[in-house]
Each structure stands twice: as structure tokens, then as C-alpha cells.
Amino acid sequence: MSAADLPVSAQRYLLAQLTNQRHMLCLHVLNGVGTVVSGDPAHFGFAVADDGSVVTSDLGLGVVDNRHGLQLSHVQLGDGACFDLHQLIEDERRLWVLVDVSDSRDEIRQAQQRSNDARLRLDELSERERLLHAEHQALRESSDQLRRHQHMQAEFVRRLSHEFGTPISAVLGHLNLMDAPGTTVDQAQRSLTAVRRGVAHLRQLVESVLDQARLQNNQFELHPAVTNLAEMIDDFRELYLGSSLQRGIAWRVSLEAHGCTAVLIDELRLRQILLNLIGNAFKFTNQGQVALKVRWHDALLSAEVSDSGPGMSETEQARLFSDYGRSSQSVRGTGLGLSISREIAQRIGGNLRLLESAPGQGSRFLLEVPAPIVHGAPEDQPAELVAQRVLVVDDDDDLRPLLVAILEQLGCSATAVARMDEIALDQNPPPDVAVVDMHLGQLDGSVILQQLRVSWPDCYLLALSADSSQDVLERSRRAGADSFLLKPVEPGALSLALQVAAQRSEGNA
């Protein structure tokens, strides 16, 4: 069948479609039930299905029932042929005409591709602009943040200079005074008290700065131990009793422990947080009261510290827990206390927050930390300190005699050496206790501990260091130390360690 066999209307249509560049690829004529009656069914996707109903299976047109004809432009098959497809309905017949459009397809594709490429480049440019804008924004924010941080650090250094300068001046001044000719014993005693106070303050400042550095550098370590709650609360009561009486401020302390006497927690850090909160409360309160309410229930320790001080505005509250977030009141301190306290509370697994505060209404803080109960903890009866023979190994010429003096005040018989070769390992009987500094110049104290552990198996070995990092603790333990003491040595802590040594000695006997 050729085009001339088509009805006139179809011929006219085809003439309008075919030009110099467009020629008819093939013509298929289907009867009313969709069977190909003319044309090669194998061409261009036309095929007769077994039941004769599907005529254009590869084109997916078999199901189309379009009574008004169909036109599809630029149909490309897998073999690369590209045609416009026309379906004409004539006298119950369907005429399918495929017109070759390969040439125009290529032209259109080139134009379309240029347009798409341009849009892709535009998209890419927009994306780069967006990224640049985001980077610019981030840079501006970090620059602002850096500027704020630098300002705060400068303020911090200025404040620290003042904070350190004041007690150092006081200490030096009082020491000169004590040394001056004609100073009476009473004056010297007063100066000594002032020196002690100044040094204690300096120590607190140094600890704050060190704590902040440890927290920032992730070197902060916790050492949970059995802690007697009632004892700790009594200590706080006693500690601030004098201050409250002197200043006429009511000091209320309460403990609701629900039968719990001892808990497992890092006592040093818990005390540090509470001392910071109570210290602040007393620092800012001139009249009224300061209260500490401690409650233990279901492995959770909560401590509420409230005061009737000046309270804080919302602006002050917003920066309360930030580094150097000092309140506007002119008071002493690094301004790091609360931020460190909150950080420590979080490291313990708890939290510290401000419950309420308003100008003129006082403030109320709440500390909550996990504190598992310890069953069967020994009653903390102070053991009678039996006279013990103690050897001190420390290369610091100031600390060595100080330790000997403290030990003698505690009723011990103490000797001290600065080097390992000065230790008489053959003495018989050996000392009951040996206090060994972990940093002896070039020598690692753990070498001495190991030697002593071998030579004197029953001697109680007490490692000593200003460094409480896990590494030092572990080295001392592996070298055979029975316990660890942190510098600067508190007489109370040394006494406690000697009690434990005595109890162990009795146990062994």
C-alpha cells in the first residue's frame, strides 16, 4: 500500500507533514479491531500480539484507545530511528504514519543542550554564591566570637593580675613585717594569720585557673570514693558558722538523707561545687539568710543553695554560667567559679542550674548529681593514731622539713631523704609508712616505690604528687603504692592516710 491509496483527507494531512527534510518512513494500516492489514509489522515497534489485539507493543501504544487520532513528536526508538508519529482515524481504520525527523531532532537537541548547559552553569554559580555567602556569614560570626572571646580574655587577665597581685602583696608585706626588728609576737601572729589567708586565696585562684584549663583540654578526671554525707554537711555548717555570726546572717543547713549515710561520689569535686555556691551566697549577701538544703533520694543527691542577697537581672542571669561571667557586683574572684562548677556537675553526670533570681529577691541554685548509696560503709570513727615510723622521700628542700614537722605533730617519728641512694634499705625493722614524691627531679618516684615494695613488703606506701592525672595514679598503683596523696598536703588528709595505714597494720597483725 502507498500513500496514494489513502483517503483524500489523509493524503492532505501527510502532504502538510512531509517536506524536503521530512519523508515518510512507513505506513501501517490497521483494521477496526487493531490488526495490521498493510505495512511490515516488524518495523519501528509495530508488532502483532498473539491475540491480535496489541499492535504497537514496543511503543507501548497497544492500550491507547484514542478515537480522535494521536500525534507524538520526536519519538526515538532503541535503534536510533527518530520520527513523528501520526495516527489517523479513517473509516474505522487506523492509519499510522511515521515521519522521519532525525535531522530536526539533532538541531533541536543542540539548541536544547545549549540551553540546559547554560541553566546548569547558572545553577552551579548560584550554588557557589550560596556557599560563599554561608562561608562569609560563618566567618563573620566566628570573627565576632573571637573578638568577644579576646575581650573576655583580656578582661580575665586584667582581673587575674589584680586578683593575684592583692594577696601576693599582702603575703610579702606581712612576711617583711614579721621579719622586721621589734615585731611583737602578737603582731607576728596576726601577720601569720594574714599570710595563711592570702596563700589560701592564692591557692583557690590557681585551682580555678587550672580546673578551667583541665576542663577545656579534656584532662579533667573524677575519683569517686565513699563519702559520708552527714559529715560533709557538718563541715559546711562549721565552716561558715563564724562568718554568719560575725556578719549577722542566718545560716541554715539541713540534710534529708532517707536513711542513706554514705554515697559513692567524687567528694572533692562535690565539695568544690557546694563551696563555690555557698561562698558566692555569703559573698553577695549582706543581711538576711543563706541556706543549704541537701536531700538524697533514690541515688540522686540534690543540694539547694539559697540566699537573700541582691539577686540578678535577666541580663546577669544570661551570662551567669559563661566563662568569666562575673556578676556586676564588685567582688573578688576569677569569675570562673560557676562555669567550672556547672561543667564539673555535668561531668559527674548531673547538672547545676539557677532555679530563681530577681533583683532584690535573692537567688536560688540547685545542684543535682547521681550518688549511688554505699551499703555497709564503715562508721567513720576517728581511729586512734598510734605512733608510727615514717620515711619521707622528697627532693624539695622546703616541703621535706614541712612534711616531717606535720608528721611529728601527728605523733609520728619521721625521717626524710631527698634521693633514692640515701634510703637505708637494710634498716630493721623498716618504717611503717613511706611517703614518696612521684617527681624526684629526673627520677620517677614509681622506681622508688617498686624498690620499697620489694625490700619492705609490709610498709604502707603513700605516693605523693601535685598531679592527680589518671596516668600518675595508675603508675603509682602499679609500682605498689597503697594510697595516693595530693599536694599541697593537708594535715587532715595525711592524718587520715596514717589512720588507714595503722588499721591495715593492725589487720595484718
Partner 1 sequence: MLGDFAVGKTSLVNRFVNNAFSERYLSTVGVKIDTKPVQLPNRQLKLVLWDLAGSEPLNGAAKSYLVGTHGIVLVADGTRPQTLDAAMRIHEHAETLIGARPTVVLINKADLESQWRTTPADLHNARQWALNAWETSALTGAHVEDAFLTLAGAMP
- Contacts of residues 325-333 at CB distance under 8 Å and 24 or more positions apart, as own/partner, are 326/159, 327/284, 329/284, 331/283, 331/284, 332/163, 332/166, 332/201, 332/283, 333/163, 333/205, 333/208, 333/283
Task: State which residue, 53 or 193, has the beta carbon closest to partner 1.
Answer: 53
Q: Which residues of 261-290 are buried (b: 16+ CB within 10 A; e: fewer)?
A: bbbbbbbebbbbbbbbbbbbbbbbbeeebb
User: Cell for 54?
Assistant: 496489541
**Bond prior to 429 in cis (omega within 30° of 0):** yes
Site residue total, partner 1 (CB under 8 A): 29
**Which residues share a beta bridge with 368?**
302, 351
Strands of 82-90's sheet, edge to edge? 36-38, 24-30, 93-100, 82-90
Q: How far is the CB of 112 from partner 1 (least distance, A)?
A: 5
With CB under 8 A as the contact rule, the residue among 19, 21, 116, 427 that binds partner 1 is 116
Binding mask 12-51 for partner 1 (x = CB under 8 A): ---------------------------------x------
At residue 402, the 3 state secondary structure works out as helix
The torsion angle over the Cα atoms of residues 209, 210, 211 and 215, rounded to 10 degrees, is 110
Task: State which residue, 66 or 150, has the beta carbon closest to partner 1.
Answer: 66
Q: How far is the CB of 74 from partner 1 (least distance, A)?
A: 2
Task: State which residue, 62 or 173, has the beta carbon closest to partner 1.
Answer: 62
Query: If binding is defined by CB under 8 A, does position 128 make contact with partner 1?
Result: no
Closest-CA residue to 503 (of 391, 411, 379, 386): 386
Q: How far is the CB of 110 from partner 1 (least distance, A)?
A: 9
With CB under 8 A as the contact rule, the residue among 1, 15, 37, 108 that binds partner 1 is 108
Binding mask 57-86 for partner 1 (x = CB under 8 A): xxxxx-xx-x---xxxxxxxxx---x----
**Cell numbers 540534690: residue:** 302
Query: If binding is defined by CB under 8 A, does position 136 make contact with partner 1?
Result: no
Q: How far is the CB of 66 from partner 1 (least distance, A)?
A: 7
Judged by CB under 8 A, the stretch of 120-128, 294-302, 351-359, 462-470 that binds partner 1 is 120-128
Q: How far is the CB of 75 from partner 1 (least distance, A)?
A: 6
Task: State which residue, 108 or 154, has the beta carbon closest to partner 1.
Answer: 108
Task: State which residue, 60 or 242, has the beta carbon closest to partner 1.
Answer: 60
With CB under 8 A as the contact rule, the residue among 123, 141, 238, 408 that binds partner 1 is 123
User: Cell for 470?
Assistant: 589518671
The residue length of the chain stands at 509
Query: If binding is defined by CB under 8 A, does position 119 make contact with partner 1?
Result: yes
Rounded to an integer, what distance in angstroms lies between the CA atom of residue 442 and that of residue 131?
A: 54
Return the amino acid letter for 280. N
Q: How far is the CB of 504 from partner 1 (least distance, A)?
A: 59
Judged by CB under 8 A, the stretch of 56-64, 180-188, 361-369, 432-440 that binds partner 1 is 56-64
Q: How far is the CB of 78 from partner 1 (least distance, A)?
A: 5
Instruction: DSSP letter for 430, please.
Output: P
Q: How far is the CB of 114 from partner 1 (least distance, A)?
A: 9
Q: How far is the CB of 63 from partner 1 (least distance, A)?
A: 5
Task: State which residue, 104 or 450, has the beta carbon closest to partner 1.
Answer: 104
Rounded to an integer, what distance in angstroms lies between the CA atom of residue 450 and that of residue 126?
A: 69
Rounded to an integer, what distance in angstroms lies between the CA atom of residue 397 and that of residue 240?
A: 35
Rounded to an integer, what distance in angstroms lies between the CA atom of residue 256 and that of residue 264?
A: 17
Say how many Å lie between the first and final Cα of the chain, rounded: 123
Judged by CB under 8 A, the stretch of 89-97, 116-124, 156-164, 359-367 that binds partner 1 is 116-124
Closest-CA residue to 399 (of 432, 447, 436): 436
Task: State which residue, 78 or 376, has the beta carbon closest to partner 1.
Answer: 78
93-100 and 24-30: which strand pairing? antiparallel
Q: How far is the CB of 104 from partner 1 (least distance, A)?
A: 9
With CB under 8 A as the contact rule, the residue among 9, 19, 21, 112 that binds partner 1 is 112
- Residues between 359 and 378 that touch partner 1 (CB under 8 A): none
Task: State which residue, 76 or 219, has the beta carbon closest to partner 1.
Answer: 76
The answer to whether residues 304 and 365 touch, using CB atoms and an 8 Å cutoff, is yes
Q: How far is the CB of 26 from partner 1 (least distance, A)?
A: 16
Task: State which residue, 45 or 337, has the beta carbon closest to partner 1.
Answer: 45
Task: State which residue, 66 or 346, has the beta carbon closest to partner 1.
Answer: 66
Closest-CA residue to 205 (of 261, 245, 167): 167
Q: Which residues bind partner 1 (CB under 8 A)?
A: 45, 57-61, 63-64, 66, 70-78, 82, 105, 108-109, 112-113, 116, 119-120, 123, 127
